[in-house]
């Protein structure tokens, strides 16, 4: 079993989130992506607490494709310093993981 990741970022609107998810999958940097939202967000920004609504993008990829996916999300994002984080998927159904590998292979 390879190393697999769940990568997330947030955006200000659904259209931006959908564009990021779609472009990452089309570039084979992620096997799949989901857009969730709006979600309530609470954060520290420019020296003060803030809150707002955001849309979350969740992408499944391999550790081997992470650096390219991160660079893609940062380059295509509308924010100067977007959140791009990843957590390891420690287990998964083998047929799904095989599909994830095949879907992120640069062909």
Domain ranges of the chain: 4-102
**How much is the average pLDDT of 64-91?**
96
Q: pTM (2 decimals)? A: 0.92
**Chosen CATH of 4-102 out of 3.30.70.120, 1.20.1530.20, 3.40.50.720, 3.60.10.10:** 3.30.70.120
Whose tokens are 């096997």? That residue is 31
Q: Give the pLDDT band of residue 1 (cuts 50, 70, 90).
A: very low
Distances from the Cα of 82 to the Cαs of 5, 11, 17, 18, 93, in angstroms? Answer: 18, 8, 12, 15, 31
Please check whether residue 33 is in contact with residue 5, taking contact to mean a CB–CB distance below 8 angstroms. Answer: no
For the stretch 3-52, pLDDT in tens is 999 999 999 999 999 999 999 999 999 999 999 999 999 999 889 999 99
Nearest in space to 56 (alpha carbons), one of 74, 44, 40: 40
Q: Give the pLDDT band of residue 72 (cuts 50, 70, 90).
A: very high
Distance (Å, whole) CA 42 – CA 65 = 30
Please check whether residue 36 is in contact with residue 5, taking contact to mean a CB–CB distance below 8 angstroms. Answer: no
Distances from the Cα of 88 to the Cαs of 4, 10, 45, 66, in angstroms? Answer: 6, 18, 27, 11
Return phi, psi of residue 51, to 5°. -155, 155
């Amino acid at each position: 079993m390879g190393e697999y990741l769940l990568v997330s970022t947030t955006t200000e609107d659904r259209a931006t989130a959908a564009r990021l998810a779609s472009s990452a999958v089309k570039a084979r940097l992620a096997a799949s992506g989901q857009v969730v939202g709006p979600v309530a967000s609470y954060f520290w920004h420019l020296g003060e607490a803030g809150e707002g609504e955001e849309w979350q993008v969740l992408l499944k990829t391999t550790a081997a494709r992470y650096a390219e996916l991160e660079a893609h999300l940062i380059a295509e994002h509308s924010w100067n310093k977007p959140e791009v984080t990843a957590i390891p998927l420690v287990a998964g159904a083998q047929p799904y993981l095989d599909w994830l590998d095949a879907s992120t292979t640069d062909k």
